């Protein structure tokens, strides 16, 4: 039981840090309305990868994986949408 609890918290902290790291980028693009420095190809591939991680998390029923990747996918798609809108 101890290892399961430790793994849950380790995954939760890692997922939170990785997810929250995208917030400044989303805010910066929204504020400046400039996404020229963002690679469209990179964020398309990244979003696809995050979607697959989300599906994997659902498949293995691991909430830290599901939540982190669901929120990260929303943030990545927001960046993609702004990239398309602001170029």
Q: Where residue 6 sits, what CATH number does that domain have?
A: 1.20.1280.290
Q: Is the dihedral of CA 16, 69, 26, 40 positive or negative?
A: positive
Mean pLDDT of all residues in 3-10: 81
**φ, ψ for residue 33 (rounded to 5)?**
50, 40
How many domains is the chain partitioned into structurally? 1
Domain containing 80 equals 2-86
Is the pTM above the cut of 0.75?
yes
Q: Which two tokens stand for residue 23?
A: 């917030």
pLDDT at position 2, please? 61
pLDDT digits (tens, 9 = 90+) for 29-87: 999 999 999 999 999 999 999 999 999 999 999 888 999 999 999 999 999 999 999 88
Q: What is the largest CA-CA distance in the chain?
A: 50
Task: Give whole-number Cα distances, 63 to 8, 22, 24, 43, 84, in Å.
Answer: 8, 20, 24, 24, 31
DSSP alpha helices (H): ranges in the chain? Answer: 2-20, 23-32, 40-60, 63-86
């Amino acid at each position: 039981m101890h290892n399961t609890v430790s793994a849950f918290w380790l995954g939760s902290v890692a997922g939170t840090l990785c997810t929250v790291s995208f917030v400044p980028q989303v805010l910066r693009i929204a504020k400046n309305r400039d996404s020229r420095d963002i690679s469209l190809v990179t964020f398309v591939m990244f979003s696809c990868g995050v979607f697959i991680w989300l599906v994997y998390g659902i498949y293995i029923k691991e909430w830290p994986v599901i939540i982190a990747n669901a929120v990260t996918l929303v943030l990545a798609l927001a960046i993609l949408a702004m990239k398309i809108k602001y170029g």
